[in-house]
Structures are given as C-alpha cells and as structure tokens.
Amino acid sequence: MPIINNKYLENKRTELLHIQSGSIIITDAPLDNNGKGEYFSPTDTVAGALSACMMTIMGIKAEKDNFDLQGLKSTVTKLMTSDPRRISGIKIVFEWADCELTESQKITLKEAALTCPVALSIHPDIKQNITFNF
C-alpha cells in the first residue's frame, strides 16, 4: 500500500503528500544544482531523515524507560561530492544542555540512535559522523 504521493510542480520542485496524515513536504533543487533552494532538497530530506529517525528511536526508548527528551536538539550537515553527484557524509551533532540522565541511560540512548532504521539503511559509503553532547 502506498504511503506517499509525489507530483512534479514546476522548476525542479516536487510535492510529497503523506497519504495517512495529509502532511506535505515541498522539495526544490538546491542553489548549487540549478535550483532556487527555497525548500528542502531531496538530499536534504535524506540527511534530515537520519536525525529525525535517531530522535524518534531515542524518544521510543525514553518513553519505555520513563524519562523525557525535552530540550534535545540536533544540527545536521550534509556533505556532497560530484562525479557522480551524491551524498558523501552526514554529520549530526545532538545537543542536550539540561540532560539529567545517568551515564547508563545516555549510553542506551546513543546505542538506540545509532541503530535506527534510517542509519542502518544508508549505504556504508555515506559516512555518518554522529556526536552526542549530553
């Protein structure tokens, strides 16, 4: 059963519709690849999906272990190469200034994040550089 409908809008722009929720994501070609860069590029969504998946899996683990992830944030950097043009690396830095977890809980969260479905699905040639500051 399909989960997304995608349509080409114009000028290297697409509209992804999440069928179940009705949520929409617009994608645009980036400035460095003949686009306007006004929305996420398709490769931006890949990098963002890695961070979102890691946070989601950490959230599932936190809920199961009865603690809150309030205040957890991340920054995502995507590295590109050419010939062929592709993602060569994704750098994510998780920041959690007010973290009050034990070392054991922190290790559990880190392990959960690093084994999220997106992390395990990304080709090994794409370097995942993940930093946890909490």
78 plus 23 within the same structural domain: no
Give how many domains the chain has, as a whole number.
2
The enclosing H or E element of 111 equals helix 103-114
53 plus 116 within the same structural domain: yes
35 plus 48 within the same structural domain: no
81 plus 21 within the same structural domain: no
d(CA 58, CA 37): 31
32 plus 67 within the same structural domain: no
**pTM for the whole structure:** 0.94
- Look up tokens 């409908």; give the residue: 5
Mean pLDDT, range 48-69, rounded to an integer: 96
Structural domain of 19: 1-40
Is residue 36 pLDDT above 90, yes or no?
yes
Q: What band does 98 get if pLDDT is binned at 50, 70 and 90?
A: confident
The enclosing H or E element of 9 equals strand 4-10
